[in-house]
């Protein structure tokens, strides 16, 4: 993958905007970027304790996708293995971060870290395995390298 410079957030309000509008399914599709995915996940983990991220995130993403005209099927839309790998990566990042920092600073640090890179899952998965129907429908174990956490991404709870 080529180098990619992430779009950073300038305020906590920017992240809250993305998160709240994602939940309300009113976020414009163009704003649902890689950065927005990770910012929303971080916001949910740190600020929305009323939401069980492990349980609810898949359906939240599927419903959002459908609300903007997307389809969740074997080739597009929600992807379980990618979601679980990034969710665990966000938790791994947060387990080592200064959680007293402003939210946008945490998210920006995440986006600039290995766990925030778009190609993070390819450290562990071959392209064929990651983009398989099996990996889209359910979590599959990696075939390139072991994941850097001791629990399954589906149950990793370093930060809830």
Q: Is the pLDDT of residue 148 over 90?
A: no
Please state, rounded to an integer, the average pLDDT across all residues of the chain.
92
Enter the tokens of residue 62.
């599927």
Q: What is the dihedral of CA 128, 70, 78, 12, to 10 degrees?
A: 120
Dist CA 147 CA 125 (whole Å): 9
Q: Is the pLDDT of residue 159 over 60?
A: no
Give the predicted TM-score (pTM) of the model.
Answer: 0.91
Q: How many C-beta atoms lie closer than 10 Å to residue 139's C-beta? A: 16
Query: Mind listing the pLDDT tens digit for each residue in 34-91?
Result: 999 999 999 999 999 999 999 999 999 999 999 999 999 999 999 999 999 999 999 9
Angle of CA points 3, 6, 10, to nearest 5°: 155
Q: Give the per-residue pLDDT at 2.
A: 56
In this structure, of 6-15, 121-130, 147-156, the range with the lowest mean pLDDT score is 147-156
The answer to whether the beta carbons of residues 81 and 93 sit under 8 Å apart is no
Q: Give the per-residue pLDDT at 117.
A: 96
Q: Which helix (H) or strand (E) holds 159?
A: none
The answer to whether the beta carbons of residues 141 and 152 sit under 8 Å apart is no
More confident residue, 153 or 15: 15
Which residues neighbour 54 within 8 Å (Cβ) at sequence distance 6 or greater?
87, 154, 155, 157
The answer to whether the beta carbons of residues 48 and 19 sit under 8 Å apart is yes
Q: CB under 8 Å, gap of 24 or more: what pairs does 112-115 form?
A: 112/6, 112/8, 115/86, 115/89, 115/90
Q: Is the pLDDT of residue 100 over 80?
A: yes
Residue 154 confidence class, pLDDT cut points 50, 70, 90: very low
The answer to whether the beta carbons of residues 32 and 63 sit under 8 Å apart is no
Q: Give the per-residue pLDDT at 4.
A: 78
């Amino acid at each position: 993958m080529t180098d990619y410079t992430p779009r950073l957030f300038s305020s906590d309000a920017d992240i809250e905007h993305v998160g709240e509008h994602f939940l309300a399914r009113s976020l414009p599709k163009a704003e649902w970027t890689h950065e927005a995915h990770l910012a929303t996940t971080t916001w949910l983990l740190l600020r929305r304790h009323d939401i069980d991220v492990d349980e609810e995130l898949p359906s939240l993403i599927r419903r959002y996708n459908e609300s903007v005209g997307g389809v969740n099927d074997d080739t597009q839309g929600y992807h379980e293995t990618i979601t679980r790998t990034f969710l665990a990566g966000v938790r791994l990042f947060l387990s080592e971060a200064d959680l007293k920092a402003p939210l946008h600073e945490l998210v920006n640090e995440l986006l600039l870290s290995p766990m925030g890179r778009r190609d993070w899952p390819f450290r562990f998965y071959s392209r064929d395995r990651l983009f398989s129907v099996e990996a889209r429908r359910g979590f599959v174990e990696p075939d390139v390298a072991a994941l850097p956490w001791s629990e399954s991404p589906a149950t990793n709870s370093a930060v809830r």
